[in-house]
Amino acid sequence: MEKTGMAIQVIKEKLYQSGFKLTPQREIIVKVLIEKEHLSAEEIYMAVRAKHSGIGLATVYRTVELLTDLKLINKITFQDGIARYDLNHNEHHHQPHYLLCLNCGKIDEVEQDMLIDIEKEIEKNHQFKIKDHRLTFHGICQDCLKKTDSNQ
Amino acid sequence: MEKTGMAIQVIKEKLYQSGFKLTPQREIIVKVLIEKEHLSAEEIYMAVRAKHSGIGLATVYRTVELLTDLKLINKITFQDGIARYDLNHNEHHHQPHYLLCLNCGKIDEVEQDMLIDIEKEIEKNHQFKIKDHRLTFHGICQDCLKKTDSNQ
DNA sequence: CTTGGTGCAAACGTTTTGCAGTATC
DNA sequence: GATACTGCAAAACGTTTGCACCAAG
């Protein structure tokens, strides 16, 4: 709960710095985002309604849009076209890399930025100034590998 | 025209090998995909209607789905959630990397696979068997850099 | 005549928007 | 009382599907 309180405080400050408020609805949404990762808007909405039944889906969308604009959370869309949201804990603005299991759908994050050298090469070879990146690996996670190993 | 004819011939063969036909509608769609890259379904539909006004949008969707399943084209979805399609010229099954200009929206491709070493490291460190990847760099393209350089 | 393919329109799931009402300063 | 924010419902958007019709072997 310490961590939650701290994170909310930081977000509250950044909101006020930009002229926005941390309304009760926004606070509940942020708490949900702290508790669980990779949630879609619908999933946030469900979790939020469990705590405060009066919140509308539109508020969820408007809040995650606001938080994304302020770079407080990351919005990521995999191939299914559904946007998912994660708190942006690291100060560095780069997106983490994702490991997406094709079997069970689990999403893992790799916080370490492994693209630095590649980005330098791309910038040199293509005269393209890189601001951000999205990298997702599709494959089979550790758990699913174990399950299938014994059978095949 | 040589290139177009060859590409269509290859696609026709692969379709027949899998028990499908190259209908007139499918042929027109393929020709459009040969002529332009990174088209959305809607854009394919527009281009196709210019050549043959009777084709329906559903046929476009069904065709690109079929071609994607047969790995004849790549489907890629950027952060806007709109799927785009590209002919898969290289035999290797890996997705190219993309350079997306935040200023003008231009999409460039990097065919060379630069992730091989990183994938080895991820597989070792996370016990995750990688099957495919999606890598997009967001930044400013050469043309837009030139335009803004003089002003700032 | 059977099978696969098509066009149209309707349905779908996610996201956005208009608007009237609410809370806050 | 002005401003930012909310909830609801409707609309918008890209995409998929049901179905009757068509084409080809």
Query: SS3 string of A19-32?
Result: CCCCCHHHHHHHHH
pLDDT tens digits, residue range B84-119? 999 988 766 678 999 999 999 999 999 999 999 999
The residue in chain A having the minimum alpha-carbon distance to the alpha carbon of residue B102 is: A131
Mean pLDDT across B77-87: 93
Output the distance from A58 CA to D12 C1' rounded to whole Å.
14
Which residues have C-beta within 8 Å of that of residue A141, sequence separation ≥ 6? A99, A101, A103, A104, A106, A108, B128
Provide the token pair at B75: 């489907």
Least confident of A131-135, B22-26, B92-96, B147-151: B147-151
Residue A122: list chain B partners with CB under 8 A: 97, 99, 110, 114, 137
Q: Is the CB of B46 under 7 A from strand D?
A: no
The residue in chain B having the minimum alpha-carbon distance to the alpha carbon of residue A126 is: B142
> What CATH number does the domain located at B1-90 have?
1.10.10.10
Q: What is the DSSP letter of B89?
A: -
Helix (H) or strand (E) holding A146: helix A142-149
Which A residues between 88 and 147 have a beta carbon under 7 A from any strand C atom? Answer: none
Chain B contact residues (CB < 8 Å to A): 75, 77, 79, 81, 83, 97, 99, 101-102, 108, 110, 114-115, 118-119, 121-122, 126-142, 145
Q: Where are the domains of chain A?
A: 1-90, 93-152
Q: Flag whether pLDDT at A45 surpasses 80.
A: yes
Task: Answer yes or no: do B131 and A138 touch at CB < 8 A.
Answer: yes
Contact B96, B109 (CB under 8 A): yes
Of A134, A142, A139, the closest CA to residue A100 belongs to A139
Least confident of A35-44, B3-12, B32-41: B3-12
Q: How far apart are CA A73 and CA B83, in angstroms?
A: 24
Residue B74: list chain A partners with CB under 8 A: none
Question: pTM of this prediction?
Answer: 0.89
CATH, domain B93-152, list 3.40.50.720, 3.30.160.20, 3.40.50.300, 3.30.1490.190:
3.30.1490.190
Give chain D positions with protein CB within 7 A: 4-10, 14-18
pLDDT tens digits, residue range A91-146? 666 789 999 999 999 999 999 999 999 999 999 999 999 999 999 999 999 999 99
